[in-house]
Structure 1
Amino acid sequence: MNNLYLEYLASQYQGKLLLKQELQLDEPTFQILMQEQFIKEIRGIRKQMGLTMCERCFNYQKKYFGKMPYGKREIVYCRKCIMMGRVSEVESLYVWTGPKPKRKPITDACHWKGELTPLQQKASNSMIDTINRKDHLLIYAVCGAGKTEMLYAGIAKAIESGKRVCIATPRTDVVRELAPRFRRDFPEIESAALFGDSTEKDLAANLVIATTHQLLRYQEAFDVIIVDEVDAFPFHRDKSLPKAVQRAARPEHALIYLTATPRTELKIKTQLKLLPTVSIPMRYHGHPLPIPTLQRIRKLSTKINSNQLPEPINQWIKQRNGRRYLLFAPTIDSAKTLSQLLDIPYVHADSPNRKDFIQQFRNQNIEALITTTILERGVTFPSIDVAVVQADHHVFDEAALVQIAGRAGRSAQDPTGDVTFFYEAKTNAMVKAHQYTLIKNKEAKGMLV
């Protein structure tokens, strides 16, 4: 087996956890690679001391395991990650243990010519230092602070020194938004955008932009991992995803977290100085965060469930006077009801036309869009107002409401925007989201004095 072919295989497989069919090798080649120990087999399902665990997704909960006939016996398979291909007692995972691929440094990888604000520059410098020291960092920046641009210099430095970089985010729509921006500003590098419905493949890409679930396919692949929206569902709820991030990182790596709304664990680590943190309480354009208006509507849920549009919501829409807006609904049913009442398209996680409607709204081809929480974070639309219908619903916690409010006023040309929470019974989440905005605006104002 010649060196060129081995180098090609290394570029395809290094750092990945793959099923046999994903290797796409003929049987003789596969057997030779196994004999030469260029590929290592990992049992897909491990049973030890009464515990059954999936080696790909770390699942050990019995409810997520199924049984299927195999010859004269039954075997166990993992149902939790089956959408990635079945892992079972007889279907293993494979990792490349042969020669490592050669990675050529790319000079002048970033073509972005914009300028950072002093706060953005501070975060950028901290990120470069973290990459050099192979350490961890939290960038705690308000919505609209310009987090993406803060990453550019650090990513460019990493790629220029031959490192692999991954930007992982819990949301598919964030991957769809970030990938074109990075391809525009890093035109000479190889990149891959990976999510559930993506047709792209990571063929030794310099930069991988992926949902956090896609990291279940990796092992010791990346020198730098940036976890965007680290507090978002499902990352903070699914314990397998932080484990996937750690496994996808090389033994010596840099790990950068990004968020506007860190959860308690990260806040404690910051306060105890266990996690270096850069705080940015100001948007890149220097204008304050829009302060949410809280508006009570009696029998709001009853009216929505009865296919009635409450008059305060109708009045809010009329007051837009042609200005574009997002309406957030807590459930698919309520989003559908509002869509029918207002004749406005709606999107949710499983919408067949989700990508098309979001792109139309981004291109300003439609005036309004109704959405569930899938668009609460990580996406930017120019010059919009935002309203949350049934803001007292349990799906709208403090972080969600802060992020939703952060969709308004993001543009330097239009730095203000109306944010309204319609509710029936005021919740702590709504009060805290309102307080968060006031506190961050006060911190930002102090920096300007």
Structure 2
Amino acid sequence: MKAIEQNACRRCGNSDPRLLARFPHQACGTDCLYCRKCIMMGRVSACSTLYGWGGSPVEWDSAEAKLSWDGVLSPSQAEASKAIVQAVQEKAELLVWAVCGAGKTEMVFAGIEEALKDGKRVCIAAPRTDVILELEPRLKAVFPHIPVIALHGQSTEKHAFAPLVLSTVHQLLRYANAFDLMIIDEVDAFPFSFDSSLQFAAQKAGKKDSTRIYLTATPSADYQRRFRKGELRGVILPARFHRKPIPMPEIRWGGNWQKSIQKKQIPSPLLSWLTAIIKKQEPFFIFFPHIDLMKEALPLFRGLSLSIDSVHADDPARREKVMKLRGGELQGLLTTTILERGVTIPKLNVAVIGAENDLFTEAALVQIAGRVGRAKEHPAGEAIFFHYGKTEEMKAAVKQIMRMNEEARKRGLLD
């Protein structure tokens, strides 16, 4: 067996120093290097023994798998839901290409019920913990008689069994041939779309004849190509469930924003926008491309209002801060792209500072703009891309949202 470098993760060989940390390893009696992904999986190393289940399948009372939900699907949602149920019955692959706010979660309810009633085990996977934390209470509420577990880095249920499992894609490395229905949410999102080991884990976790449902508002070029060529079955939902258009984002000059922050000033175009939002007492996100600059800028924003805070991927209080924003204890959050997906806040407005940064791809900007206007009671809001040089990604994001709104109008899906 090829030896792994001592300056790399003991389990997977990752040598990126930004992701490495030392932890005690009982088998060796020494401190060993692990990367963040393997730490999230638990302290498993190359010399650890791995176990699998070789006995009879674990069964549950499928009669208890009754959906408890009194909501009503829109015609386009109902079309997607029917396609998902059919895919479950035929053990097929299906792409659900639905705009941000289309109500993807509600669309999968019937498909999950169909699988569970047939004694099939279901997994809903997503790239980020935030999405799993949002899904957990919703799925437990609509399937109250079926055990549901949520697996993520801080989960205490990693060794429990449940017919319905919610999991970050990292935790799928724990499974092999386990699920009859694999639903992968935000299939285009980082890190899943960039990490072949996570894609392998998602493939391995499902049975060979499992149904695979891919949910996304921004499918990759490969998924779009397979769909258009007929190689991948799919359904497109260009409208939100509340039948209102997606608010169009605005590309706005932001000046040399980095220089402004270094001078302890909020860029004047952003300051004007934010002052108006604060006056309206509406919640907001401001997306930054760099954590360090965001931290440097936070005191400047707190000078405007003490109800502003910041979050990023390694913030242990990230969930609590989002809950405070949702509950009105905070008015705004400075954030990295960690909150570009899976978070719904009524009346939310968003701004991107430094939208010209490579981090803000077309897909990322579409997702960020998609945080706005998601609630039926508040279908409007502002999404501003403040830039120091307009990019093709910004223009492509605006065009994509425009195309979806036009398609929704053509199909009679907007009021």
Instruction: Decide: shared fold, TM above 0.5.
Output: yes
Determine the structure 2 residue equivalent to 1:372. Answer: 336
Aligned counterpart in structure 2 of residue 159 of structure 1, from 116, 125, 132 = 116
1:166 and 1:83 map into 2 onto residues whose CA distance is 19
Q: Map 1:221-240 to 2 at 5 A.
A: 221-240=178-197
Q: Give the root-mean-square deviation of aligned CA atoms.
A: 2.8
Instruction: Output one character per residue of 1:403-442: Cα deviation in whole Å (capped at 9) or x when no partner.
Output: 0000000011110111101010111111111111111111
Q: Map 1:43-442 to 2 at 5 A.
A: 47=1, 59=12, 81-107=38-64, 109-201=66-158, 203-320=160-277, 321-343=280-302, 344-442=308-406
Query: 1:88 Cα deviation (Å)?
Result: 4.2
Structure 2 gap ranges (5+): 5-9, 303-307
2:140 and 2:181 map into 1 onto residues whose CA distance is 18
Normalising by structure 1, we get a TM-score of 0.83
2:335 and 2:388 map into 1 onto residues whose CA distance is 20
1:195 and 1:63 map into 2 onto residues whose CA distance is 22
**Contact 1:290/1:416 (<8 A) preserved:** yes
Dislocated runs of 4+, deviation >3 Å:
57-66, 68-72, 76-80, 85-90
Query: 1:86 Cα deviation (Å)?
Result: 4.2
Determine the structure 1 residue equivalent to 2:305. Answer: none
Cα distance change on mapping 1:199 and 1:88 into 2, 3 Å: closer
Give the number of equivalent residue pairs.
399
Cα distance change on mapping 1:289 and 1:202 into 2, 3 Å: farther
Instruction: Output one character per residue of 1:286-322: Cα deviation in whole Å (capped at 9) or x when no partner.
Output: 1111111111122222112332101111110122221
Query: 1:89 Cα deviation (Å)?
Result: 4.8
Which piece of structure 1 moves more, 334-343 or 253-262?
334-343
1:214 and 1:347 map into 2 onto residues whose CA distance is 23
Corresponding letter in the other structure for 2:397: A
Determine the structure 2 residue equivalent to 1:34. Answer: none
2:222 and 2:261 map into 1 onto residues whose CA distance is 37
Query: 1:333 Cα deviation (Å)?
Result: 1.6
1:83 and 1:297 map into 2 onto residues whose CA distance is 38
* SS of corresponding position for 1:319: helix
Query: 1:146 Cα deviation (Å)?
Result: 0.5
Corresponding letter in the other structure for 1:442: E
**Contact 1:106/1:189 (<8 A) preserved:** no
Instruction: Output one character per residue of 1:227-269: Cα deviation in whole Å (capped at 9) or x when no partner.
Output: 0000000000110011001110012210000000001111111
Corresponding letter in the other structure for 1:177: E
2:165 and 2:147 map into 1 onto residues whose CA distance is 9
1:71 and 1:212 map into 2 onto residues whose CA distance is 27
1:198 and 1:70 map into 2 onto residues whose CA distance is 22
1:250 and 1:394 map into 2 onto residues whose CA distance is 37
Structure 1 gap ranges (5+): 1-46
**Contact 2:40/2:170 (<8 A) preserved:** no
Query: 1:134 Cα deviation (Å)?
Result: 0.7
**1:444 aligns to 2:408 (yes or no):** yes
Corresponding letter in the other structure for 1:210: S
* SS of corresponding position for 1:431: helix
**Contact 1:59/1:240 (<8 A) preserved:** no
Query: 1:81 Cα deviation (Å)?
Result: 2.0
**Contact 1:294/1:423 (<8 A) preserved:** yes
Query: 1:69 Cα deviation (Å)?
Result: 11
Cα distance change on mapping 1:109 and 1:202 into 2, 3 Å: farther
Determine the structure 2 residue equivalent to 1:17. Answer: none
1:83 and 1:108 map into 2 onto residues whose CA distance is 31
Determine the structure 1 residue equivalent to 2:7. Answer: none
**Contact 1:347/1:354 (<8 A) preserved:** yes
1:90 and 1:223 map into 2 onto residues whose CA distance is 31
2:244 and 2:317 map into 1 onto residues whose CA distance is 35
Query: 1:51 Cα deviation (Å)?
Result: 9.3
**Contact 2:254/2:353 (<8 A) preserved:** no
Query: 1:100 Cα deviation (Å)?
Result: 2.2
Normalising by structure 2, we get a TM-score of 0.89
1:421 and 1:124 map into 2 onto residues whose CA distance is 34
**Contact 2:309/2:330 (<8 A) preserved:** no
Cα distance change on mapping 1:389 and 1:110 into 2, 3 Å: same
Cα distance change on mapping 1:334 and 1:137 into 2, 3 Å: same
Cα distance change on mapping 1:285 and 1:78 into 2, 3 Å: same
Corresponding letter in the other structure for 1:91: S
2:38 and 2:111 map into 1 onto residues whose CA distance is 33
